[in-house]
Structure 1
C-alpha cells in the first residue's frame, strides 16, 4: 500500500468515526441457556454520520465590544476642574475642594469598606450668663448678705456670689452707706480691713457695751498693749526681736494675743527659722482701720532725746 492509499484510508476512517455519546445502542443478545456454546450474532456496521448542511465558517478577527453595544448618547462633558499647583507651580491634580468624596462603604481607594469615623467628643456647654439684677434687687441682696457676715467681705466676693459685674458693687455699697447716714440709723455700713461690714455708730457705743458686757469688761494689760504695738509697727517680727525692743521676755504675752485673735503666725524667718508674727483682721476691725498703712506715725509720740536713750542702752 502506497502513501496515497494510506492517506485515503485514514481520511475515510476519520470521517466514519462517531463519538461514543452519539453511537446508537444495540440490543445485547443474551445466549440461550440450552445452547451455551452459541455466540451472539455480530452487530451490523454503523453508517457514517451525515455531513452538516451548513459547515461552520472559519473564525475571523475579533469584533470589539463597542461595535456590538454602542453607548447611548449622554449629557455633554463638563470642563475639567482646575488642578492644584505643585511645589514648582505645575498642576499635579484636581484641587482638594473639587475632589468628590468617596462613596459610602468604600475606603480611600474604593477597594474595601471604610472604617466608621470616631465619635467626636462633645464640647462642654458654656453656662449662660446670669441675668443682670436691677438696682433695687441688687441693693436688697447686698443688705441681706451684710447682715449675716461675721467679718468684712470684699467687693470681689460679693460680685462672685451675686454673679454681677464687680464694678457695680462699689457704687451701690457707697449709696447704701450714704442712705444709712442720711436716715440717722443706729448702725452704719463702713469699709474696714479690706471689706465692708455693718457697725454700730460710735454715739451709741455706751448702750451697746452695757448690753454686751453687762459689767464684765476684759481689758488688755499694759504689757499686752506694748507688745501689740511692736508687732503692728514691725510686722512681720520674731519673738526675739520683740523681746529685744521691750527689754523683757514676752512669750506669755504673745500667747495671750494669739488666743484673743489679735496676732497670728505668718511663717518663719529664713536665717534663724524663728516664727514670725503679724496682726490679724480682727485687730484692724477693733481699731477701725482699713489696713496697717492707716496706723498713725510714731514720730509725734517719740521723746526728743530718743537718740541719747538709744546710746545709753548700748
Structure 2
C-alpha cells in the first residue's frame, strides 16, 4: 500500500471514529425533512468555534431572565466543549449576563433602601453630665449647635437642658453660673465673688486699661468697623499706639480695608464680648444718657 493510500485510510478511520461518551448516531430516514436553521433569515451564521453571547432576555421581553438552572435550553443535543467554556469558563461575567445576581436574576431598576443611622437618645441625667463636663474644659463660649454635634442630640433639646442647668446653678446659689455670651455658653464666676477671684488671680498686679485705651475701645465698639483716622478724629488725638495695645490684648482686630481710601478697618473681638458678658454688640448700652446736654453746641463749635 502506498503512502497516499495509507493517508486516505487513516483519514477515513478518523472521520468514522465515534468517542465512547458520544450518543449513538442513527442514520436519518430518507424522507425526513431537513433541519430548520437556528438563526433567523437575514442573519449571518457564526463561524465554527466562535463564542456566541447569550441574548439579554430582560431587555427584550421586559422581565427577568430565566434561571440558568431551570430555563429552556437554546439548542438540542449534548453541549460541545466550546459552549461549555462560554457558559462556565473564565470571563463569563463580562458578557450580557454580567448584571445577573444570585440565581441568575437580573436586579435592574431596583433601589436598595439604606437605613439611616440610629441616634441613641440620652436620658436627662446623662445629657446634663455630658454638657457640664464639656463646659468645664472649654476656654471660650461654645455654641449650642457644636454641643449638640458632640453629644449627638437635637439642638433644641440641648438648648433646653442648658437653660435648666443655668437656672439650677442660680437657684442653688453656687459661686459660678452658666451664661450665654459671645454667641455661646460658658461657666463664669458670680459678680459678688469678684473680689476674691481678683485677689487670687491678679495677686496685686494691675491689668487695667488706661483711660485712653478705654476711650479708644469705646469708639471702636460703637463705630465699628472704623479706621484709625476716624478714631483719631473723634478723640482728637493720635491713637496708633493705643490701637496696637488693644490688638495685642485681643480686644480689637482688623477686618479688611476701606474701599475708598484703602485704610485698615477695626472691630471688637469675641474676647471683648466675653469680658463684658455680652452676647452681641447690639446689647451695648445706648450712648444718649451719657451725652452732655449741649452736645449740638459742642458739635457746632468743632466745625
Do they superpose with TM above 0.5?
yes
Cα distance in 2 between the residues matched to 1:274 and 1:98: 73
The answer to whether the aligner puts 1:192 opposite 2:177 as a matched pair is no
Instruction: Map 1:1-314; keep pairs closer than 5 Å.
Output: 63-65=31-33, 96-97=61-62, 115-116=94-95, 117=98, 128-314=117-303
Cα distance, 1:187 vs structure 2: 0.6
Cα distance, 1:271 vs structure 2: 1.6
Cα distance, 1:234 vs structure 2: 0.5
Q: TM-score, normalised by structure 2?
A: 0.66
Cα distance, 1:307 vs structure 2: 1.5
Change (3 A) 1:272 1:98: same
Cα distance, 1:126 vs structure 2: 6.9
Gaps of 5+ in 1: 1-61, 67-93
Change (3 A) 1:118 1:268: farther
Cα distance in 2 between the residues matched to 1:217 and 1:126: 60
Q: TM-score, normalised by structure 1?
A: 0.64
Count of residue correspondences:
220
Structure having greater relative contact order (Cα 8 Å, sep ≥ 6): 2
